Chain A
Amino acid sequence: MSDERKKIEKAVTQDYDLGFSVDIEEEKAPAGLNEEIIVYLSKKKNEPEWMLKKRLQAYKIWKKMKEPHWAHIKYDPIDYQSISYYAAPKKRPKTLEEVDPEILRAYEKLGIPLEEQKQLAGVAVDAVFDSVSVATTFKEKLKEVGIIFCSISEAIRDYPDLVQKYMFSVVPMSDNFFAALNSAVFTDGTFVYVPKGVKCPLELSTYFRINAQNTGQFERTLIIADEGSYVSYNEGCSAPMRDENQLHAAVVELIALKDAHIKYSTIQNWYPGDEKGVGGIYNFVTKRGLCAGERSKISWTQVETGSAITWKYPSCILKGDESVGEFYSVAITTRAQQADTGTKMIHIGKNSSSTIISKGISAMRGQNSYRGQVKIHASASGARNYSECDSLLIGDKCGAHTFPYLESKNASATIEHEATTSKISDEQLFYLRQRGLKEEDAVSMIVHGFCKEVLSNLPMEFAAEAKDLLNLTLEGSVG
């Protein structure tokens, strides 16, 4: 309980725990988006000609597209010409020793001391600070088993065959407005390739951090698990406090070949904005996995606590026979946060199966929507889906909404959908308080109980982090 008390004291004195920004020299492109900027960006990154061509192609597609507005969210129009599409720390370190001490301090403040991470329990960190990877660890160890774990920029230069084969194969550049924008201007991200039969011995993880004022972040992640391989990848985020809205439009593509298993876990804690939602991150993400081979499996687990707006539907295309897709999600909205999140499970392969467990928590004036699609193609005989969408309301000014879309073209498929909405009751709180628990602790206990099924799917260290984050997020939302 003393930790708990410290946490609360901390939260009382600091409005947003991770809301600090570090003063580092930045190299920044002028605001605005046009072909010249894309050429500049591509050049800065020493990209091969084919990549530049792809970017320009995506830019042309994007220019013709319209920003989508079907989601249950409201925000002021985004001025895409006022955003700077490239920012990079000036010094490019080759080793950790060369990393700007300011950056290392920022990581330490975030609780991820990079130096210690090297020795600490098997977590390799490909640290993305702003747009360019500044440090990569554990690379050698992974290389021993043939795993490629590097920034996407490096992969474009060093592994062009793999990148050309798989990039845009799951999320085409024309997929949606934000995916097209990302395809044109993505600055960096992570690339992972796990060779045939290799079980990745470490939890791979990347911490993203938005730092440059007025700079949109356009991450691009590509993970390929070759036949019979396994990889667990953790993505965790936090951002410094800002007055302007920051656009974030990431694309993540996962490919699982025959008998491969990818576990992708996310903790998203970007600045949510103040009580009125001012200054929070706009998070428009396209995440999709392709279960390409037989018995392949992709599991998405996400804990979404941050951002002013979350627009995110990690999905699985279950192409392989007997392939498995999973989606476990906790989304919390407090203050004036809006989340429209869920998943798509597209069943193509025979006996493919999918599980969706979504837990939405709304407090204060938060609006939380679950949007999920289960689509069973005619080819997917014996396909199965189980969906469970639960909402928990704290207070009476928040909202929870559920938009399930079910479509089956094969009569042998089984689809189950369950949904509940509950409220933290005064009686529950009183019961726990009568046993000596502070109101905040009582709320946190009820919330953790509610999210248990999802949190138990997170890797252990990540689960502890998620727990702390839930507590911090919900502080002040009751009473």
Chain B
Amino acid sequence: MIKIESLKAAIGGKEILKGLDLEIKKGKVHAIMGPNGAGKSTLSKAITGHYEVEITGGDILYKGESITKMEPELRALKGIFMSFQNPVEVPGVTNAYFLREALNAKMEFEGKEPLNPADFLRMAREYCEILGMDPKMLNRSLNVGFSGGEKKRNEILQMLILKPDFIILDEIDSGLDIDALKAVSQGINRLRNADRSFLIITHYSRILEYVKPDYVHILKDGRVTKTGDYSIVKDIEERGYSEIGERL
């Protein structure tokens, strides 16, 4: 799905990713863990084409195609989705309108007929229920006045509606209470299948109890320093990043 080859990326002239290699397999859930400042968020920004990130070396291949020079919207239309740590507020634009526009953009890109508004609303309401969201939130302005938990659920709602091929969940679990965490995890698990890949970026192991990863990578100082299975999570829990880092 994704092949990252000795990727170097800088933000504001400061090199954050220093030759990162990573392969994310089709149909698999990968988790990236690492201490603060290791470059986790820079990695997700590099994949999605965030304006702050400057790629200074290496390459990112998505489905075999280099995407480092591609417009962010084209990457999105081709199936790359990222849940935001702090989704921005857009006053006056209702959640439902935004979701439908985004879905229609995708449908059009794929040469499909757009969903009619009634069908769309039915689908959106159904997903709201799964996520424990009040369907009234569809009529509110996008993220305006949403609580931290509501924003995160809303990100997952977008994911469910857009059904992307490659999903980056950037700190989706931070600031969530246990109910919200369960609801969010349920949403994620619902989309797991043999064709879809996930990259869960997290500082904590909490969410990985609900969404079991196939692979776990440790990111430290701009590089992937360890790759393994779920057992790494246990290691971190017991000994912390620094010790694992030292051990490596």
In the complex, the answer to whether A428 meets B88 with C-beta atoms within 8 Å is yes
A466 to B6, CA, bound (A): 50
Given the complex, which residues of A lie within 8 Å of B72, measured CB to CB? 430, 433-434
- Whether B88 lies near A436 (C-beta < 8 A) is no
| Residues in A neighbouring B101, C-beta threshold 8 A | 1, 437, 441, 445
The proximity string for A residues 1-36 relative to B, scoring 1 for CB distances below 8 Å and 0 otherwise, is 110000000000000000000000000000000000
B82 in contact with A434 (CB, 8 Å)? yes
Which residues of A from 416 to 432 have beta carbons under 8 Å from B? Answer: 425-428, 430-432
- Asked if residues A433 and B90 are in contact (CB atoms below 8 Å), the reply is no
A432 to B102, CA, bound (A): 8
- Bound together, the chains give a CA A436 to CA B81 distance in angstroms of 9
> In the complex, what's the smallest C-beta–C-beta distance from A223 to chain B, in angstroms?
31
Residues of chain B within 8 A of A428, CB atoms compared: 88, 90
> Could you tell me if B87 and A436 are in contact, using CB atoms closer than 8 angstroms?
no
Contacts of A430 on B, CB cut-off 8 Å?
Answer: 50-51, 72
Return the CB mask of B42-83 against A: 1 if under 8 Å, else 0.
Answer: 000000101100000000000000000001110011000110
Instruction: Give the contact stretch, choosing among B21-29, B103-111, B120-128, B190-198.
Output: B103-111
A residues 173-195 touching B (CB-CB < 8 Å): none
Q: Is A143 close to B, CB under 8 A?
A: no
Tell which of A1, A438, A453 has the most Cβ of chain B within 10 Å: A1
A431, B84: Cβ atoms closer than 8 Å? yes
Instruction: List CB contacts (< 8 Å) of B87-144 with chain A.
Output: 87-88, 90-93, 98, 101-102, 104-106, 108-109, 114, 141-142
**A388 nearest CB across to chain B (Å):** 13
A451 at the interface (CB under 8 A from B): yes
User: Within the complex, what minimum Cβ distance (angstroms) separates A56 from chain B?
Assistant: 51
| B162 close to chain A: CB less than 8 A | yes
Question: CB of A446 within 8 A of chain B?
Answer: yes
Asked if A438 meets B73 with Cβ closer than 8 Å, knowing A1-B104, A426-B51, A430-B50, the reply is yes
Contact, CB under 8 Å: A445 / B90: yes
**CB closest residue in chain B, given A426:** B51
User: B185 an interface residue at 8 Å Cβ cutoff?
Assistant: no
In this complex, the member of A436, A437, A450 whose beta carbon has the largest number of chain B beta carbons within 10 angstroms is A436
Q: Are A449 and B76 in contact (CB under 8 A)?
A: no
Residues on A with C-beta less than 8 A from B202 are: none
Judge whether A435 and B162 touch: CB under 8 Å: yes
Shortest CB-to-CB span from A303 to chain B, Å, is 15
Alpha-carbon gap, A462 to B76, bound state (A): 34
Contacts A1-B104, A433-B73, A436-B106; is A448 near B92 (CB within 8 Å)? yes
Could you say which of B90, B108, B162 contacts A449, with CB atoms under 8 Å apart? B90
Complex CA gap A431/B73 in Å reads 10
**Smallest CB gap from A359: residue in B:** B92
Q: Which residues of A contact B92 (CB under 8 A)?
A: 448-453
Known: A425-B88, A433-B71. A1 touches B105 (CB 8 A): yes
Query: Taking A437-B101, A437-B102 as contacts, is the C-beta distance between A2 and B87 under 8 angstroms?
Result: no
Decide: A2 and B108 in contact? CB cutoff 8 A: yes
Q: Would you call A235 an interface residue if the criterion is a C-beta within 8 Å of the partner chain's C-beta atoms?
A: no
Q: B141–A439 contact, CB under 8 A?
A: no
> In the bound complex, what is the Cα–Cα distance between A433 and B105 (angstroms)?
11
- CB-CB under 8 A from B105, the residues of chain A are 1, 435-438, 441
Question: Which residues in B have their C-beta under 8 angstroms from that of A448?
Answer: 92-93
- How many Å lie between the Cα of A449 and that of B144 in the bound state? 12
CB neighbours of A435 from chain B (8 A): 76, 81, 98, 102, 105, 158, 162
Q: Which residues of B contact A1 (CB under 8 A)?
A: 101, 104-105, 108, 114
A433 to B87, CA, bound (A): 13
Closest CB in chain A relative to B237 CB, distance in Å: 32
Q: Which residue of B lies closest to A438 (CB)?
A: B73
Q: Closest approach, in angstroms, between the C-beta of A281 and any C-beta of chain B?
A: 29
B88: A residues at CB distance < 8 A: 425, 427-428, 431
- Give B205 Cβ to nearest chain A Cβ, in Å: 27
Whether the pair B87, A431 counts as a contact (CB closer than 8 A) is: yes
Tell me whether B98 and A436 are in contact (CB under 8 A): no
Residue A436 contacts which of B77, B84, B90 (CB distance < 8 angstroms)?
A: B77
The answer to whether A436 and B73 touch across the interface, beta carbons within 8 angstroms, is yes
Q: For the complex, what is the distance from the CA of A305 to the CA of B229, rounded to whole Å? A: 59
**B62, chain A: closest CB distance, angstroms:** 14
Contacts of A437 in B (CB 8 A): 73, 101-102, 105
Q: Which of A390-439 contact B (CB under 8 A)?
A: 425-428, 430-439
Tell me, in angstroms, the Cα distance from A314 to B98 when the chains sit together: 34
7 sample A-B contacts, Cβ–Cβ < 8 Å, listed by A number = A1-B104, A431-B88, A435-B98, A437-B105, A445-B101, A449-B142, A451-B92
By Cβ-Cβ distance, the 4 closest A-B pairs, closest first, are A449-B92, A449-B93, A452-B92, A436-B76
5 extra A-B contacts, CB within 8 A, seeds A432-B98, A433-B71? A425-B88, A433-B76, A435-B162, A449-B141, A453-B92
